[in-house]
Structure 1
């Protein structure tokens, strides 16, 4: 793999993907479209974009693979409609544009319990995103489904941070699927998925990430 697109590079998992990808000799260039500038790096192309109006014909869409770690919370988004736009609509638009320009592998940071038929809005949104990504037509498509994610976020998520701390205290007693997964491990599996680019659709549950 020579050209990698990373969407969501400023988030917890995305920032780990970015560091790992820039250090990976098999990755020649990382294209990371963001709203705010990233720290410059010789291998990094960082176009500043508005995800509401992505430039459809930009030449930097021509990459070999894509990793998407976009995501928000209901508290930050402010409404279900705004949440759905960030967690479903934006990843889908990125996928369509990258595929149209030749990308062959896509890895998506989804979530434990993702199910398009779920009554839980969060889980249903993730499930619908997975379902719709499958219709884009990537030869290689991977869904990583972590539960609680361990790591220090720039943007505070008090409820999630409390849940992570409690889970870490009782970690030995929890089933593997409910244990806290370090963000760097999730990043590693996302990057590994697109580097290998195995044909077909692949789902990595939370317990497989430990």
Structure 2
């Protein structure tokens, strides 16, 4: 399996990258982002590309891949809708439209979030924008596409968020995760489980295109 990963320096992306590099069935991982991950691995190749709305200059390097894991995202706190949509809607669509031309047999996975609004009509801005992104991506002619909607994500294996407020939140939450998992198992997952679930659906598919937090955990459990 050959994988393209967007957002490899974010918390979720770090976890997905780790699982890809550990998986013997993954032959190659290409990360695309505005900054390098700083990691080195025999499987890993990185493209630092500043304009994530235009891939014309690197199209020749994006062909021949089996899967794309789009983990790039940003907190909506304090953002205007147009600015948030640029990252959460326009960037994934720009990448996906390029990749579907080059790799029509690809499986495309987009990390969305719990409570995303598929109607695109709700009052919550981030949920509405992510719903619009999901709907647009599901309309593209990839071999398969899946929208991942994790809820509370526990960072594992030393992974940390780039966002300071999130780092503080996760530090406070760490001792509470065992209790949260016991009380709300449907709403808690880990960076490891998200990565493993992505690899599972590329290999085996999933029963539906939109996967909620409980579905993500179930896929990992089924895989063993």
2:177 aligned with 1:184, yes or no? no
Contact 2:32 2:49 in 1 (8 A): yes
d(CA) in 2 for partners of 1:183, 1:189: 10
2:211 aligned with 1:204, yes or no? yes
Deviation string for 1:92-116 (max 9, x for gaps)? 1111111110142111111111122
Superposed CA RMSD: 2.6
Shift of 1:175: 4.0
Task: Mark the runs of 5 or more structure 2 residues left unpaired by the alignment.
Answer: 218-224
d(CA) in 2 for partners of 1:40, 1:180: 30
Question: Given the superposition, is the C-alpha separation of residues 37 and 163 from structure 1 closer, same or farther in structure 2, using an over 3 Å criterion?
Answer: closer
d(CA) in 1 for partners of 2:11, 2:49: 19
Q: TM-score, normalised by structure 1?
A: 0.86
- 1:54 aligned partner: 54
- 2:152 aligned partner: 148
Task: Mark the runs of 5 or more structure 1 residues left unpaired by the alignment.
Answer: none
Q: TM-score, normalised by structure 2?
A: 0.81
- 2:17 aligned partner: 18
d(CA) in 1 for partners of 2:109, 2:66: 12
d(CA) in 2 for partners of 1:160, 1:131: 33
2:41 aligned with 1:41, yes or no? yes
Contact 2:107 2:144 in 1 (8 A): yes
d(CA) in 2 for partners of 1:139, 1:183: 25
Deviation string for 1:1-59 (max 9, x for gaps)? 3x210011111111111111122222211111111122222211201101345332522
- 2:87 aligned partner: 86
Contact 2:59 2:98 in 1 (8 A): no
d(CA) in 2 for partners of 1:185, 1:172: 13
Shift of 1:154: 3.0
Contact 1:71 1:86 in 2 (8 A): yes
- 2:76 aligned partner: 74
